[in-house]
Each structure stands twice: as structure tokens, then as C-alpha cells.
Amino acid sequence: MKISITQFLTTVLVLGSILSAARAQDSLVSSAGKIDISGFTDVYFSKNVAHPVTGKNQLRNFDIAENQFTLSLVEVVLQKKAEPVGFRVDLDYGAANDVVQPGVTSTLSTIQQAFLTAVIPIGAGLTVDAGKFVTHMGNEVIESKDNWNYSRSLLFAWAIPYYHTGVRLSYPLADNVAACVHIVNGWNSGTDNNDFKSLGMTLNWTASASTGVIVNAIDGFENLTTIESGKRTVFDVIVTEKLSDALSLAINADYGQAKTDPGLAIWKGAAVYGRYAISDKAAIALRAEIFDDPQGYATGLGIPSLDVKEVTGTYEYLFAHSLLLRGEMRYDFSNAAAFDKTSPGTETTQTTALIGAVVLF
């Protein structure tokens, strides 16, 4: 069952009361360390030009609802910096969280992340996180406010996982190179569905003051579908370039494969991003991408030789340092009928307009 808004708010209020009581006791605060509280509320309205009979934007993960005002996400973050021990808890509620954690029951469905952190004094310092945390893969994240566009890319929706449960070890190899190893139960799960753990890695290279390169990978037995019979492997590369204080570029490329009973399923794609800051309050962003799903496996559509592309333009404006407004136009097009109109799966194109509002606190 899904958790109700009342249960979510009750959880937040109880945690807030506990933290307020702790902060009121100076001795406790000084010994336990400072706990930071932040968060946001995210709502959107999306309109599909085709007026699909399903009432949904296809091949999307978070901006799915069409012609509806939608509470996408409410998030409250509690964090204590590791000095040398700390923690982080992200509490989530909304339509986006239902996509990230479908079928998760009870209070567990409110927890996007919850992990303990310890910095072990080995060499330059080994950071150990244990618990549930968002994936290390992809150029985009679950929180729309932290992306350049409001809607998420095809790569974020279909090529990579959302979160993991396990342990990750981070270590700086040099001043400009850091490595991270993940030992996790699997994709989007608190418990493993087989006897093997999945192994992930990240290599983060700051090539220069303006250029960054991140290489990610994950490999393991996932058994995410009834026909998946072997290892699932994904490689993910992100390159960012800050050309000036106003203009930034990024490239994200993914390659994934899974062994299935019918044979090897493959998916791959690439996205190019650009963002230009008009002022300290306004910016425009553009994303163009292609996603190739030859067996129709990653998207779950089962369409052979499926090839989907999209172009997204976003304008944003920040009011009073706390209200982020975004207007967005997006055009998706495919070599097969992957989109809806008078009936499901009849269209090869999809055009949507969206307004999103995020209040930060």
C-alpha cells in the first residue's frame, strides 16, 4: 500500500520535534554536532498536444501526468556532517517517489536515502557510507531543482537505476582524482532477489578548473524481469565543461546489457546539454538526446529496433531566492509508434509543454 500524506507529514513532524528538542539543549548540540535541515516542494502542470486518451506522457518517468496539476515531490533532508561520523536522511513524498519506489510499503516508502557516514583516517581519508543511497550513475538526479531541465532524460528514465542499498567506499587518489566502490544488493531494492551482490565503481577526474570527467559502472545479477537470466551491466560516462561563468556544457553516454532467455538485450544512448545563465536569477537550458533500445527491453515496450530521440528547451527564473519557476517545451520522436493519441501506441511523435514550480526551504 502507498503511504498517505498524513503519515508522511506525521513522520516529518515527529522528526522535526525531536531535532528541535535536541537543539534546545546546548550541551547535546555541542556534543552531537550540528544537524542541517533543508528541503523543497515541487509541483508541475504538463500539457500534451496530442491529448492522449491514456492521460499520460509516454516514455517519461516523473512528468507522466498529462493535463493535471501534480504534486511531484516533497523532500525533507536531515544531515549531519561526518566529523568523523555523520548521517543523512532524505524523506520523500509525491508522484515522483511513487515512480522511484513502486510497491514499497509502510514507512519505507518515504525514505529516498538513509545512510551512516564515517571518515576513517587511512591515508588521505577513506569515507564509508552504509545504508540506502541514490545511484552514482547518470548526469541527472531525482530532484528537478538540481537539473538543468525540468523533465528527465530518456537515459535517466530507462538506462540506469534510481537507488541502491549497501556500502560505498570513497577515496581521493590524487588532488584531482577520486574513486568510489559500491557493494550493493542490486537495482532499486532494499533487499536482494538473489545470492549475489552487485559491484559498482566511480572514477571522478577533475581534468582542469573547467573540465570534469566521470566514469561509472555497475555489474551484477539483478533478475529484474522473468526472462533475465544472467548479469546486467551498465557503463556511464559524463563530461562537463564550463566555458564561462554563464555558459556550461555536458555530455552523458550510457551502454547497458542484460543476459536474458531470448538472448543478450542491449540499450545505449547519449545526451548533450547546454545551459546559459542570463543573469543570477534567469537561465535557459537545452538538451538533445538519442536512446536506442534494439530489443525494446529497457523501455519495456517490446518494440524491436526501437530508436527514440528528444529535444527539450527550458527557461527558469528564481524569485526571492526560494521560488524556482520553469517553463519547458519538449519534442519526442521515434521510428516506431511509441506514443499515444486516440489510442495507445499509435503516434511516432510527442510534443509537450510544462510549467514547474519548486519552493526551496
The pLDDT tens digits of the residues spanning 269-308 come to 999 999 999 999 999 999 999 999 999 999 999 999 999 9
Q: Which domain holds residue 263?
A: 5-360
Q: What's residue 22's pLDDT?
A: 44
Q: What's the rounded mean pLDDT across residues 153-158?
A: 98
Count, residues in the chain? 361
Residue 32's pLDDT band (cuts 50, 70, 90):
low
Helix (H) or strand (E) holding 215, with range, is strand 211-221
Q: What's residue 24's pLDDT?
A: 46
Helix (H) or strand (E) holding 277, with range, is strand 263-277
Characterize 33-68 residue by residue with b for buried, 16 or more Cβ atoms within 10 angstroms of its Cβ, and e for exposed. Answer: eebeeebbbbbbbbebebebeeebbbbbbbbbbbee
At residue 104, the 3 state secondary structure works out as coil
Residue 142 has pLDDT above 50, yes or no: yes
Nearest to 77 by CA among 123, 115, 129: 115
pTM, entire model:
0.89
Query: Helices marked H in 144-206 — which ranges?
Result: 154-158
Residue 16 has pLDDT above 70, yes or no: no
Q: What's the rounded mean pLDDT across residues 35-42?
A: 97
Exposed / middle / buried, residue 78 (Cβ in 10 Å: 0-12, 13-18, 19+): buried
Q: What's residue 4's pLDDT?
A: 57
Residue 14 has pLDDT above 50, yes or no: no
| pLDDT digit string, tens, across residues 69-98 | 999 999 999 999 999 999 999 999 999 999
How far apart are alpha carbons 161 and 108 in whole angstroms? 18
Q: Which residues contact 203 (CB under 8 A, 6 or more apart)?
A: 177, 178, 179, 214, 215
Q: Please, what is the average pLDDT of the chain?
A: 91
**Secondary structure tally for the chain: helices H, strands E:** 4, 16
Beta strands in 49-84 (DSSP E): 68-80
The CATH number of residue 233's host domain is: 2.40.160.10
| pLDDT digit string, tens, across residues 159-192 | 999 999 999 999 999 999 999 999 999 999 888 8
Instruction: Please state the domain count of the chain.
Output: 1
How far apart are alpha carbons 78 and 20 in whole angstroms? 12
